[in-house]
Chain A
């Protein structure tokens, strides 16, 4: 149990377009989901915390208008990278937490390449 999926696993897009990444908890209800970004050979940087039915909380330095997060249900959160530019190219990873659970379960990640 406790499987998290991400879709797509990779995406290539042109500069200026928007890209939506989905994060789903497949066999549990996730009250909280987290979005991370990871540049090559670097660690994971937390971008935002997403709670079902409420606005996401963004970390300092993360533009909320550029990275739109929607957590519409207990099993789905989406991250939309708006007007993507080459510097947004990165590995985006989500994680999900059960209600009253300590552990986060991570998705397999989405590699975004902006040309």
Chain B
């Protein structure tokens, strides 16, 4: 089953602009992770934020987490054409199974 929704489903921006993607989830979590997937390829882990953290940075990526609203956002600054991909959030619950439940994903297109 899917944990939640991501919005927007699709996003088209110009190179150099910032891209923001949002993720909502339904149950309590241990951590939330963001992944990137190029078309027809495997997943690349971008960043993990724990339930007791509110914000995390990695290069041009900034992730926020609001556990009271059960939501997270991924901001990509100064986007590049190479950032074109699908982005998924995934939640790891407290049941110690380490299962990841993925959101519906955002397809990002960065126009050169």
Contact = CB atoms under 8 A, between A and B. Distances in A.
A104 B98 contact: yes
Given A49-B99, A59-B1, A102-B92, A43 B104 contact: yes
A19 interface: no
Q: Is the interface of A mostly helix, strand, loop or mixed?
A: strand
A12 B82 CA distance: 30
Interface residues of A, number: 27
A44 B102 contact: yes
Interface string A20-48: 00000000000010101000011111100
Q: Is the interface of B mostly helix, strand, loop or mixed?
A: strand
Contacts of B35: 106
Most interface-central of B2, B40, B42, B102 (chain A CB within 10 A): B42
A111 B42 CA distance: 11
Nearest to B50: A102
Nearest to B107: A41
B2 A108 contact: no
10 contacts: A41-B107, A42-B105, A43-B2, A43-B102, A43-B104, A91-B40, A93-B43, A104-B45, A104-B98, A111-B40
B61 to A, nearest CB: 16
Interface string B27-59: 000010101000011111100100000000000
B25 interface: no
A34 B40 contact: no
Closest 7 CB pairs of A and B: A108-B42, A106-B43, A44-B102, A43-B102, A106-B42, A109-B42, A43-B105
Contacts of B48: 102-103
A71 to B, nearest CB: 14
A54 interface: no
A107 B41 CA distance: 9
